């Protein structure tokens, strides 16, 4: 996939936006941005959010796991989204286990916020001429994995 992204982007005009569909893992976004992709479209943050999987800058957190039953921390302590500011892992887990629709909304909102943080970080690093260092640091963080 990375080779094809690089080849395709290399064949396109530099002044035109490069769009990639169906790529959604945070690591893949970073690697495809490094190869020239400008825009992405993928269901992963919303689909996974509906199923109780929360994406963070440190990896993935499966909120339905029993270990979060009494965890009073936000999904991601570094995140400023509404979900992380207002709700605990324990409460969101309760909502997921109870099949409450609010769980899907909160996890999806958080996932989209995380993606926004990711691409804003990439954009700022590109503009500042420090993308290579940002990419290494970000990929190291995402490799932690969590669940």
Which two structure tokens, joined as six digits, stand for 62? 């499966």
Longest dimension (CA), the chain: 52
Q: Are 88 and 72 in contact (CB under 8 A)?
A: yes
Query: Which residues, listed in sequence order, are joined to residue 40 by a DSSP beta bridge?
Result: 20
Q: Would you state the pLDDT for residue 110?
A: 98
How many separate domains does the chain show?
A: 1
Element at 41 (helix H, strand E): strand 39-41
pLDDT profile of the chain (147 residues), mean per 10: 93 94 93 96 95 93 97 96 98 97 98 96 98 96 77
Instruction: Assess if residue 38 is contained within a domain.
Output: no
Q: How high is the pLDDT of residue 146?
A: 64
pTM: 0.91
**Residue 134 maps to a domain:** no
pLDDT for 31: 96
In a domain, 75, yes or no: yes
Give the pLDDT score at 132.
Answer: 97
Residues spanned by the domain of 82 = 44-128
Cα separation, 63 vs 61, whole angstroms: 6
For position 144, what pLDDT does the model report?
74
Tokens read off for 22? 């169906």
Would strands 59-62 and 53-56 be described as parallel, antiparallel, or unpaired? antiparallel
């Amino acid at each position: 996939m990375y080779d094809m992204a690089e080849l395709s982007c290399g064949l396109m005009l530099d002044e035109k936006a490069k769009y990639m569909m169906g790529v959604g893992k945070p690591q893949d976004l970073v690697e495809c941005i490094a190869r020239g992709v400008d825009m992405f479209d993928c269901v992963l943050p919303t689909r996974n959010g509906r199923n109780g999987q929360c994406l963070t800058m440190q990896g993935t957190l499966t909120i339905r796991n029993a270990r979060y039953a009494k965890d009073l921390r936000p999904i991601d302590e570094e995140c400023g989204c509404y979900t992380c500011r207002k709700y605990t892992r324990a409460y969101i887990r309760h909502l997921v286990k109870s099949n409450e629709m609010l769980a899907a909304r909160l996890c999806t909102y958080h996932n989209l916020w995380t993606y926004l943080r990711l691409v804003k970080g990439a954009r700022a690093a590109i503009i500042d001429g420090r993308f290579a260092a940002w990419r290494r640091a970000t990929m190291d963080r995402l490799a932690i994995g969590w669940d």
